Structure 1
């Protein structure tokens, strides 16, 4: 055993340094099966101190590090490169709930804790942690933080940036920054935690976080609606806000192609309404108090919406099982797409008011070039985030279509940029979109980001080839003093 592997074993124990191909295989490909990499080893630390020891060993030998949580990412951000130089640093053993402070409404958790376990710990304390994702049973807090995850309740609670008060981070040289402060007001200089949230492990490795808690939900009301078009959905959102206020927890739009895939591939899935609407909305109201009749309030609001021709048909869940069945249709869209085959994925954001314009212009543009393109559009219309995915129905035709991904990306992303949007709303950049970044960010923005990268990771060992690409390690000239 060479000195480097001995250092890894000394840090975490020999049993937690995986080198056998069969042991490493689950860590070397992404969830979609699009990216496949190689690694010198998979290392599984059990504490922040162990993880810091691994990072120090890598820094001493110049070995790149790819941090990985639940490996549920959608952009290849946690998959190592094919050159096999890196180690994969799995945080799955660092899964403890460190503290719950009910009076401060905070919870301190390690980065390897699954989102579902975090939600349950909050519930056990009579509180709510509101981040909600389809992958919550397997995704982990570190991954949620590194991609600034959003999910279906951003409309009310915000994404991970808004839900985070403090972080613990292992820096690229192995030092530990303890920023685990549960303060809602702390104006003592730069807010350093924001550098690491959304950075996809390229600046350091998040090991723990202090997160906000909210009052537990006492009552929910859920409905599936058929709407005339996306413009009506936006007007409906405005009406529901005026009638129901902050009780609107989620407002999701689902295109007909997305629902059809779920009905085709997910066992037990049933269409919620008779007839096939081109566009549906899944709405949920919630309240911490159990006194109001939210179902009656939702029904009254939808009656007004129908009178204004904003809703064509609706079904309101009358039980928890019915509500879960409606949410299952939404949450299984990604799984149904994975079963169907590879598609060209877009996770875009535009101002809420411009969602209908984006959908209309994008569809016109794509159908002119590819009349048989299948557009699977769905997502968080309440906060302007759409998942906009493209494929061909026939497998052989789809292979040729997927080969044109750069061309399709350029068309969609240019339109997004023209509408004042972003090419990545909540999935991150990873490998999938890193080369697109320079087209849509100004030279000044790129210089600033490269300067931050060089300051925190001068050797370029933290998740190389992700977000900024290989050139990210070059020193920035932006802040050099004039000679």
Structure 2
């Protein structure tokens, strides 16, 4: 696209949404062109900031006319470069959805909330709470990530065990198609058996099939009480047995079950000394678990005490500490949420967001740890994640005192292959909740069957024949 054509597209966008919302100055566009982890920096002819779904549709129609690719972006908190333009030289524009930030409706009787794509996740949670309801999606970036980004990556978080991924929390969507049409699928129905489920095609597609502009999301009753505890265990195998026991005792009241290795919490304590290791003795694995009870605090604690008594007597749990108040509950969760921050303080590391069947987690960790130790002696494993849904953040830290930059240069490719091959052997996924984006596009194609890749490409071609919707993401 030559500069004159680019200028014509920008001028048309100015007419559509106003000059103040078409950013072209490098100082203004820079924050939108680099991803959160600073792995990718791309280029764009403009950053476009519409405020309505109709303005999004108008921009997409102009993009079709001028053959400009559109890169949708929410809070720009993604971890795989999915919302960042590439460096291919092809003409692209970033379409920021942050101004689509209205809560359109809260329906307590239907237990739904209708929100635009740019509403920040924490604001959805707060609006639900003001209606005496719970919106259970919860993750570390909730103060800045947006619901559109959560839907586009099918985000997971800490509540998947009880409430499911973002896909399970969504009842309806409003979407701008690659042709600039506006599909109103904002139906707050739990039963709608009238053909293909278009909603689920757009969720998790990372903006490659269309642009989500609004959604109807499920709400749940607020729990009357929460009980949170840390339990120390001798192994990941014991953690799986403890999960089964907890599910048997608590059923749907079990809303959180997070696994953290001993080294994870040692790392947190090293870089955030105010966050002390919670036990007097070291333990191989620690589980953060939470019950949410609709009856009462007394009922929740009585159930919890019976469950922990059984776990301690059977030897599954070696020690445990229960939060006595909200401050302690928050302190326990802070330990979990500070693991990635402690890793960053420790130095560069190799991250993996994988999922395997829950029953295989213990074997996966044992086998893959051994393979990594053989390939890179001294490498330190930072293993934590959502044990209840099989999602592990299986990260590799450079040896103590080693050159982290050199370690990454030497071992990044090797570590990825070891982890992804092992994940594949255990019939898992190389991306559990972060998406594919730019980072995992080749690996995703490698580990999927030819049939699966061909079907995905057929869908992409049918929806977006001009390949203008977030090109270079998810599929080549």
Q: Normalised by the shorter chain, which TM-score bucket?
A: over 0.9
**2-side partners of 1:197 and 1:139: how far apart?**
16
**2-side partners of 1:394 and 1:10: how far apart?**
57
* 1:21 equivalenced with 2:21 (yes/no): no
* 1:202 equivalenced with 2:208 (yes/no): yes
* 1:111 equivalenced with 2:117 (yes/no): yes
SS at match of 2:309: helix
1:36 corresponds to which of 36, 41, 44: 41
What TM-score comes out, normalization by structure 1 length?
0.94
Shift of residue 39, structure 1, vs aligned partner: 1.5
Shift of residue 464, structure 1, vs aligned partner: 0.9
Residue 421 of structure 1: aligned partner = 428
> Where do 1:346-361 residues align within 5 Å?
346-361=352-367
1:343-396 CA-to-partner distances (Å, cap 9, x unmatched) read 211111111100000000000101011111111110001111101011204686
2:226 corresponds to which of 206, 220, 223: 220
**2-side partners of 1:395 and 1:31: how far apart?**
27
* 1:366 equivalenced with 2:372 (yes/no): yes
Residue 166 of structure 2: aligned partner = 160
**1-side partners of 2:362 and 2:391: how far apart?**
12
1:186 corresponds to which of 173, 188, 192: 192
**1-side partners of 2:377 and 2:127: how far apart?**
50
Residue 458 of structure 2: aligned partner = 451
Shift of residue 146, structure 1, vs aligned partner: 0.6
1:15-44 CA-to-partner distances (Å, cap 9, x unmatched) read 111112221121111111111222111111
* 1:57 equivalenced with 2:79 (yes/no): no
What TM-score comes out, normalization by structure 2 length?
0.96
**1-side partners of 2:342 and 2:32: how far apart?**
23
SS at match of 2:195: coil
Change (3 A) 1:438 1:328: same
Residue 15 of structure 2: aligned partner = 10
Residue 440 of structure 1: aligned partner = 447
* 1:80 equivalenced with 2:53 (yes/no): no
Change (3 A) 1:394 1:236: closer
SS at match of 2:84: coil
SS at match of 2:142: coil
Question: Quick check: 2:70–2:92 contact (8 Å CA) kept in 1?
Answer: yes
**2-side partners of 1:90 and 1:284: how far apart?**
36
1:77-98 CA-to-partner distances (Å, cap 9, x unmatched) read 1111124521111111111100
**1-side partners of 2:202 and 2:195: how far apart?**
16
Question: Quick check: 1:391–1:402 contact (8 Å CA) kept in 2?
Answer: no
Aligned residues: 469
Shift of residue 266, structure 1, vs aligned partner: 3.6
2:251 corresponds to which of 230, 233, 245: 245
1:430-472 CA-to-partner distances (Å, cap 9, x unmatched) read 1111000122111111110000000111111111111112xxx
SS at match of 1:293: helix
**1-side partners of 2:60 and 2:365: how far apart?**
45
SS at match of 2:320: strand
More displaced 10-residue stretch of structure 1: 130-139 or 292-301: 292-301
SS at match of 2:349: coil
> Where do 1:86-101 residues align within 5 Å?
86-101=92-107
**2-side partners of 1:261 and 1:203: how far apart?**
41
**2-side partners of 1:396 and 1:460: how far apart?**
44
1:140 corresponds to which of 146, 151, 161: 146
Residue 319 of structure 1: aligned partner = 325
**2-side partners of 1:457 and 1:266: how far apart?**
48
Q: Which runs of 5+ in 1 are unaligned?
A: 470-483
1:412 corresponds to which of 419, 437, 442: 419
1:130-184 CA-to-partner distances (Å, cap 9, x unmatched) read 1110111111001100110111111011111111110000111111111111111
Residue 69 of structure 1: aligned partner = 74
Question: Quick check: 1:299–1:316 contact (8 Å CA) kept in 2?
Answer: no
**2-side partners of 1:138 and 1:261: how far apart?**
25
Shift of residue 342, structure 1, vs aligned partner: 2.7
SS at match of 1:375: strand
SS at match of 1:420: coil
Question: Quick check: 1:32–1:338 contact (8 Å CA) kept in 2?
Answer: no
**2-side partners of 1:393 and 1:51: how far apart?**
48
**2-side partners of 1:83 and 1:439: how far apart?**
22
**2-side partners of 1:357 and 1:375: how far apart?**
15
**2-side partners of 1:136 and 1:119: how far apart?**
9
SS at match of 2:231: strand
